[in-house]
Amino acid sequence: MRFDDLPRKRPEELRSHQWYGTDGLRSFSHRARTRQLGYLPEEHLGKPVIAILNTWSDINPCHVHLRDRAQAVKRGVWQAGGFPLEFPVSTLSETFQKPTPMLYRNLLAMETEELLRSYPVDGAVLMGGCDKTTPALLMGAASVDLPTVFVPAGPMLPGHWRNEVLGSGTDMWKYWDDKRAGLIGDCEMAELENGLARSPGHCMTMGTASTLTAAAEALGVTVPGASSIPAVDSGHDRMAARAGLTIVEQVHKGRVLSEILTAEAFEDAVTTVLGLGGSTNAVIHLIAMAGRAGVRLTLDDFDRIARTVPVLANVRPGGRTYLMEDFHFAGGLPGFLSRIPDLLHLDRPTVSCDTLREQLAGAQVHQDDVIRPRDNPVASEGGVAVLRGNLCPDGAVIKHIAAEPHLLKHTGPAVVFDDYRTMQRTVNDPELGITADSVLVLRGSGPKGGPGMPEYGMLPIPDHLLRQGVRDMVRISDARMSGTSYGACVLHVAPESYVGGPLALVRTGDSITLDVEARTLHLHVDDEELQRRRAAWTPPPTRYERGYGALYNEQITQADTGCDFAFLARPGKVADPYAG
C-alpha cells in the first residue's frame, strides 16, 4: 500500500485542529507546550494525532511487552504521516487485581472514553488483551466514536512441564486438583510454577483473553490475523506497526468506530466466540460492548446463534488438545472464519478493508485437527447455552462443551453456600454429606454481591469426591467462571441473589434440575413456599458507603444486560470539550 496515495484530510478538518491550529491564545499555548515536549512544528502540525492507549504495567505479565510494542505502533503512525502520543491507562491484571478486575472494567472504560474526548485526538490505538482490558477499551472508545484500531496483546508461548504441554489457567486448576488428591507433591508444584506461564502475553488457552481478542478481530477493529500472533513473535511487532499505518488511514478516510461496530459485526463476533468454543465471559462483555455501540444484543441472540454454529477450534479448554500458538499456525482467525463464510456478514467494513469478504480472501486452514472442517467439528453446536427457569428468570449460561456429558441432564439435592469464604471453609466438611449427585449452589457472588462477579463459578469438588475420582459436578452460581475453567457450571444466574433473585431463596436439600437440551434450570419448590421465603428474606448490608465502590454499587446492571453502569450504557448527549 502506498500511503502517499491516500486521500488526506486537510489540517482544519482534523479534530485536533481546535487545539493546535486556530488563532488565539489556547492554540498558541498548545503549540508552545508541544515545543516543550521537544517536537518541531513540522512533526505534528496538520497531522492526525493518534492516541495510543497502553495498558502496560509492571504488575501485568500479560501486557509486560506492550511498553516496547507501543514503539512499533508509533513507527507505523510516523510512517503514515501521523503524530503518535502514548497515554498510559489503568491496567486490569486478571491474576493480581482483587477482588476481581471485573469490578474495574467500567472504570477503564470511563478512563478510555474521557481521555479520548478531552485531549487533542483524531484517532486511537487501543493496546490490551488480558481479559477485561479488551471490552473496557472498546466500550470506552465506542462511546467517543473516533477512528479506532485495537492491538491485541497476543497469547503467551505454550507452557511446558517435563514432557507435558501446559495451558495457563486450565492446567493450573487441573494440577491443583491433582495436588489436593495427593497425586503430586511440592517438588512437582515448584516445577509447574516455572512452566505454566513462560513468556509475556495473555493466557494461551481459548480463555477469556483469546476469546475477546478474537471477538475484536471478528468485529473488524484489528488488522487481519492480529489476535492469535504470539506476544513475543516478531510478527507481533509487525502487526503493531501495521496498526499504526492503519489508524492514520482510518482518520484520513473518516471511518469512525460506529461504522465498524454494527449489528452485523456483533452477530459475527457472537458466531466467532461460539464457534471457537470461547469463554462464557464473552457473553457479558459483548452485550456491554454492543450496548455502547447502540446495538441491542441479548442472551437469546447467543442461544439462537449457538444452535447454528459448530465448534471448530480444537483449543483447550473447549477443545481438548491444542493451544493458541497451534491455532495461529493453523491459520488463525482468518483461517477459522474462512470455514464459516455462510454464517458471516461478509459485506461489512473492517478497519483494513471495505468488506470482510475482501479481508478473508485467500485465508486458509493449514491444520485440520486444530481448526476442524465443518464435517468433523469439536461439537455440533456452539459452546454456550442460555438457560431459563424459576431459578434464573433473567437467564443463566453454561459452557456445556466443557462439562461431562452425563451431567447435562441432572436432578440432585442442593448444597447451598451463602458466600465464597463460607464455601471455601466448609466445602470439604464430610458433615455436609455432599455426593457426586449433589448440586453445589454458591450465592452472593454476582455483580453487586461479589462484588464484581468474581470467577468463583467453578466451585471446587470436595476432596473426598476427588479421591474417589469425581472430576465434575453440577454447580450453580451468580458468579462468572474463568475462561480457562471447565465443568458443569451454571453461571451468571440473573437476577443475582444479592438483589433478591430466586437464588437467594434456595435451601440445602431443595431439588434442582438442570436440562441443557431443554435449556432449563428448575428449582422444585412451589411458588407459595418461595413467596414465604421471599417475605422472610432481608437484603444484605451495603458494603461501600463511599468511593468508587459506592458508585459501582449504585450503577452496575445485571449479567444479562452486560454489567455496564446504567449511566454509561444509556444513550444521551455529551458536551463537546470545546463547545462546553
Contacts with ligand FES by CB under 6 A lie at 62, 94-95, 130-131, 202-203, 207, 209
Which cell is 320 given? 481438548
Our finding on whether 561 is near Mg ion (CB under 5 A) is no
Smallest distance, Å, CB 488 to ligand FES? 23
Smallest distance, Å, CB 197 to ligand FES? 8
On the 0-12 / 13-18 / 19+ scale of CB atoms within 10 A, 362 is exposed
If the CB atoms of residues 59 and 361 are measured against Mg ion, the closer one turns out to be 59
If the CB atoms of residues 148 and 482 are measured against ligand FES, the closer one turns out to be 482
* Rounded CA separation 90/26 (Å): 29
If the CB atoms of residues 167 and 383 are measured against ligand FES, the closer one turns out to be 167
**Residues near 508 by beta carbon (within 8 Å), at least 6 away in sequence:** 413, 414, 415, 416
Q: What angle do CA 343, 346, 351 make, to 5 degrees?
A: 125
Query: Which of ligand FES, Mg ion, none lies near 95, with the C-beta cut-off 5 to 8 A by kind?
Result: ligand FES
Work out the number of other CB atoms within 10 angstroms of the CB of residue 12: 10
> By CB under 5 A, what part of segment 394-453 binds Mg ion?
none
If the CB atoms of residues 83 and 175 are measured against ligand FES, the closer one turns out to be 175
**Residues near 203 by beta carbon (within 8 Å), at least 6 away in sequence:** 62, 94, 155, 156, 167, 168, 169, 197, 209, 210, 483, 484
Our finding on whether 482 is near Mg ion (CB under 5 A) is yes
Smallest distance, Å, CB 203 to ligand FES? 3
Smallest distance, Å, CB 280 to ligand FES? 15
Smallest distance, Å, CB 209 to ligand FES? 3
Of 217, 266, 268, which is closest to residue 242 (Cα–Cα)? Answer: 217
Smallest distance, Å, CB 94 to ligand FES? 4
Phi then psi for residue 370, to 5 deg, are: -85, -50
If the CB atoms of residues 152 and 349 are measured against ligand FES, the closer one turns out to be 152
Smallest distance, Å, CB 461 to Mg ion? 20
Partner residues linked to 413 by β-bridges: 511
If the CB atoms of residues 207 and 412 are measured against Mg ion, the closer one turns out to be 207
> By CB under 5 A, what part of segment 517-546 binds Mg ion?
none
What is the CA 295 to chain-centroid distance, rounded? 18
Please, what's the b/e burial string for 553-576 (b: 16 or more CB within 10 A of its CB; e: otherwise)? beebbbbbbbbbbeebbeeeeeee
AA letter at 464: H
Query: Which of ligand FES, Mg ion, none lies near 202, with the C-beta cut-off 5 to 8 A by kind?
Result: ligand FES
> By CB under 5 A, what part of segment 100-159 binds Mg ion?
131
Our finding on whether 208 is near Mg ion (CB under 5 A) is yes
Which cell is 89 given? 491507562
Smallest distance, Å, CB 95 to Mg ion? 8
Of 316, 327, 308, which is closest to residue 372 (Cα–Cα)? Answer: 327
Beta-carbon-side half-sphere exposure of residue 58 (alpha carbons within 13 Å): 0
Size of the site for Mg ion (CB under 5 A): 6
If the CB atoms of residues 91 and 148 are measured against ligand FES, the closer one turns out to be 91
If the CB atoms of residues 46 and 101 are measured against Mg ion, the closer one turns out to be 101
Our finding on whether 211 is near Mg ion (CB under 5 A) is no
Site residues (CB under 5 A) for Mg ion? 94, 131, 207-208, 482-483
